[in-house]
Amino acid sequence: MELAAAAAMGGMSMWVTFAIIAAALALYTMEKIAIEVTSLGVLAAIALYFQFFPLLDAAGQNILNAERIIAGFSNSALITVLALLVVGQGMVRAGVLDRGAQAVLALGGGYKWPTIVLTLVVVLVVSGFLNNIPVVVICIPIMEAVAGRFSVSPSKVMMPLSFAAVLGGMTTLIGSGTNLLVSGAMKELGEQPLGFFQFTVPGVVLAAVGLVFVVFVLPHLLKDRASYTSQLQGKDGRQFIAQITVAKGSKLIGKSSKGGLFDAFPDMTFRMIQRDEEAILPPFEDITIQEGDVLVVAATRQTLSDAVAHDPGLLTPNLGDGVDTTDAPWTGGERVLAEVMIAPASRMTGYTLRQIGFRHKTHTVVLGIQRRARMLRAQITDIRMEEGDVLLVQGQPDDIAALRLNRDVVLLEWSTAELPALAHARRAMLIFAAVVIAAASGFVPVVVASLAGAVAMVATGVLPIPAAARALDTKIFTMIPAALAMGLAMQETGGAAYLALHMIEALFGAPPVVMLSAFFLLVAVLSNIISAKAAAVLFTPIAVGIAHELGVPVEPFAVAVVFAANCAIATPIGYQTSLLVMGPGHYTFADFARAGVPLIVILWLTFTLFAPWYYGL
């Protein structure tokens, strides 16, 4: 039997491969060693072993030579994921995500979980007819913006987004490349290929059950893994005092308070309105904003950042010094937001911003002031600086970096963050749309579309080269080649065939229903090690062979490969969408196991109960 021959092929090499894979998974899970080191160590171990103990073909050539083992660094999946990270970063930097987020918020009625659930349902449905990768790429920034709007950690929503796309991909032939590989393999084996909607009914059942788990259970299994920087910037609730000068033609003119609140700024607390010589204090009953008013507000850094991102001059205070700041350095170019603290014995102590001339000396502008636990009620232009005051400043990158050398202030390094470059928004949208359309339509391969999009983001100035380099995730860059090398070694040494053969032997004489269930579970487990596509190619011939030996129709076993191969969700190396959300969600290797294993078990049980009845076994 071909299966037995394949299983006997590797000998000692197969067991060494098993040992390397087991060690790699253990190290990935424990994370005592950096993921990058583990991945490169796996590549080195496999390459060294097969260099000294080669696996020879009929012509005497080493099947697993070094060139083939490290070929993963040029793999299209790796290039695609890295390029899409650059494209996504370009979209973030250009600030074009709010429109999509606002549309989703409107459909969700402004409520947190209805909005998130609606997004997941849309992703599931669309993924049945489009490649999962562009669908997830589109929705990652939107989901990130929605999570930010509701103060939900991205780690709570990014993995559900990936899982929803995977579940949707199970419902039609074109929902996933894995499905097409199974159908193509069946045709090559002389069997009837799968039809477009041939497995839609069981696919919808599995997707519906899986979606219930994703919506109601998965968020509770995921840890809050917001990045350290985002925790410092947005989670501490610190309030800065800022001011808004209502200029001629401002959209704020004529806005009135309702119940003492202004709808124009729902996340800001109004502390005072300065109108000529009059200071209007809360409660603001029946107050209408007029031209020339100075609005003193208190808000978190995130709220102020969102405001200035879309209206660069909104929070720039008027110092009344008669100096024209129309073309000032902080008004254009690359804009960066940072926090600086007034240093002990600073020469700024006791003086106002106007007296210090801070903006003209540093080429940065102060947008807000935060004074320990005290809440000030004055225009920031009238506040005299004290030691320990924290200033929220805006400027160009070089000017912000130069503050490190200023002895009067201490730059809080963790606080530096880029503001959206709104001038590039249209360009970024066009590039992104071109990438998605080209990839989804099949006009060019996904890897070509994503690579061209990444190049266009840099070439058109949307994303500087340093920013593009920072978007590349070293974990992904090393993990994909390591995963491909492990899968290749497992295939060539006969490891996967060995496991399949022993499953058949162990279940010899068992009813077809038991064999089908066990086969599904085996493919689901191995797909997380050798990737979904590799599992589809490897196990389709095995599925056909098992069906013929049992004397039952091939279709249920072929469909089992489709669904089980798509269960490559318990590790980030099994499915590309998992790799896409790993960075934005700040996930660890163990997070995927914690969330993916229960879902795999649920899908396996659902298939075991439904498939035999549906296929009449």
Contact predicate 166/569, CB 8 Å: yes
Last residue of a domain, one of 292, 308, 328: 292
- Residue owning tokens 């097969």: 50
Name the E strands within 186-264: 240-245
Burial class from Cβ neighbours inside 10 Å (0-12, 13-18, 19+) for residue 388 reads middle
457-490 pLDDT per residue, tens: 999 888 888 878 877 777 767 776 777 777 678 7
125, 182: one domain: yes
Residue 206 lies in a domain: yes
114, 52: one domain: yes
Residues 6+ apart with CB under 8 A from 483: 72, 529, 530, 531, 573, 574
Residue 359 lies in a domain: no
584-603 pLDDT per residue, tens: 888 888 889 899 999 999 99
Beta pairing class for 390-395 and 409-418: unpaired
Residue 330 lies in a domain: no
Helix pair angle (112-127, 200-216), 10° resolution: 160
Length of the chain: 617
Last residue of a domain, one of 237, 264, 292: 292
153-192 pLDDT per residue, tens: 888 889 999 999 999 989 887 677 778 778 877 776 678 8
Residue 434 lies in a domain: no
Contact predicate 77/450, CB 8 Å: no
185, 271: one domain: no
pLDDT at 96: 64
pLDDT at 164: 93
Residue 347 lies in a domain: no
Confidence class of residue 235 from pLDDT cuts 50, 70 and 90? very low
pLDDT at 77: 61
Burial class from Cβ neighbours inside 10 Å (0-12, 13-18, 19+) for residue 458 reads middle
45, 154: one domain: yes
258, 217: one domain: no
Closest CA to 161 of 230, 94, 115: 115
303-321 pLDDT per residue, tens: 777 777 666 667 677 665 5
364-420 pLDDT per residue, tens: 888 888 887 666 777 888 888 888 888 888 888 888 888 888 888 888 876 777 776
- In one-letter notation, the amino acid at residue 602 is I
Distance CA 152, CA 586 (A): 13
Domain that holds residue 526: 2-228+474-610
Residue 328 lies in a domain: no
Per DSSP, the residues of 466-507 read: HHHHHHS-HHHHHHHHHHHHHHHHHHHTTHHHHHHHHHHHHT
256, 211: one domain: no
281, 192: one domain: no
Residue 152 lies in a domain: yes
71, 149: one domain: yes
Q: What percent of the chain has pLDDT over 90?
A: 11
81, 220: one domain: yes
Query: Considering its fold, how many domains does the chain have in total?
Result: 2
pLDDT at 608: 94
Distance CA 379, CA 140 (A): 39
What's the whole-number average pLDDT of the chain? 79
Residue 327 lies in a domain: no
Distance CA 97, CA 584 (A): 15
168, 260: one domain: no
108, 26: one domain: yes
265, 142: one domain: no
CA distances from 362 to 218, 336, 377, 419, 445 (A): 48, 14, 26, 19, 49
